[in-house]
Amino acid sequence: MPPEAPNGYATEGEASLLFLEARLGRLASPRFDPLAFDAALPVAQSLAQTAAFLGHDRVAALAAAIRRLLLAASVRARPLPAAAAEQLCQAGDAIHRLLRDIERFGAEPPGDDRALIRRLDRLRRAA
């Protein structure tokens, strides 16, 4: 059985997402901004690891896919294409909804995020 989510887990997750979303503009700007990527990568990693530790598999998988896409763009020193930024927003929205359900009901609802994760991974390979 996974450990119980600590008080404030969903709130901290929301704060992490807001941090990432606030940097999307810089990540997708025409000029590559390494500092924006350096700031965003550990936040995505932390969110994925914490969710995995707590047994929130959907949040963990989405956050890990976000991290992989950001890492690929960072390694290639390229800004995110508009399509990637759009998919990152969709993944962020999905995580927001999951965190609200975790806060409200104590667990993730059932669901399938594989199509969104596949889109993020396709964009990662093209980044």
For the cut 60, the answer to whether the pLDDT of residue 107 exceeds it is yes
Structure confidence at residue 46 (pLDDT): 93
pLDDT digits (tens, 9 = 90+) for 2-58: 455 555 677 788 888 888 888 877 888 888 888 888 889 999 999 999 999 999 999
Structure confidence at residue 6 (pLDDT): 55
d(CA 14, CA 84): 21
d(CA 69, CA 3): 28
Write the CATH number of the domain with boundaries 9-126. Answer: 1.20.120.160
For the cut 60, the answer to whether the pLDDT of residue 110 exceeds it is yes
By percentage, how much of the chain surpasses pLDDT 90? 53
Structure confidence at residue 1 (pLDDT): 46
Structure confidence at residue 3 (pLDDT): 53
Structure confidence at residue 7 (pLDDT): 56
Domain parsing of the chain, residue ranges: 9-126
CB contact at 8 A, 95 and 10: no
Of the CA atoms within 13 Å of residue 76, those in its CB half-sphere come to 16
d(CA 9, CA 11): 5
Mean pLDDT of all residues in 59-71: 95
Structure confidence at residue 41 (pLDDT): 92
